[in-house]
Amino acid sequence: MQRKEKNIIPILEDANVPERYSFFVEKPDLIYQDIAQRNQVQIFNTNAATFPEVRKAILIIKTRSISSHQNERDILATALSGINGFRPVRSYNLSPYDQANYLVYLERA
């Protein structure tokens, strides 16, 4: 996709530390986050705070990475309530392609 769209930058860095890559990202339009980490919502919040000009985001929430014991809908609800500064506009269950994963489209509140 990056070859087709010149304004997409894949970042191969620790998403927990946006200071390592924020200096070479010029005025992003959108945050796209697809990571399998227990603290994926916290990572999103950190990146959203680092790039306050971003108005839209796509967040892939991998519920089984957050907890393997809770109900996935409960995990999704908790994850959505933990997002700072953005409101969920729409969420999509990615099943049957990805089990227990959700794509969430967000806009800055």
Domain ranges of the chain: 29-108
41 φ, ψ to 5°? Answer: -70, -40
Task: Give me the mean pLDDT over the 11-28 stretch.
Answer: 88
- Rounded CA separation 45/81 (Å): 12
CATH fold of 29-108 reads Rossmann fold (3.40.50)
Which stretch of DSSP H or E encloses residue 89?
strand 86-93
Q: What percent of the chain has pLDDT over 70?
A: 94
The answer to whether the pTM exceeds 0.85 is yes
Buried b (16+ CB within 10 A) or exposed e, 24-56: eeeebeebebeeeeeebbebbbbbbebbeebee
For 50: left if phi > 0, alpha if psi spans -120 to 50, otherwise beta; the answer is alpha
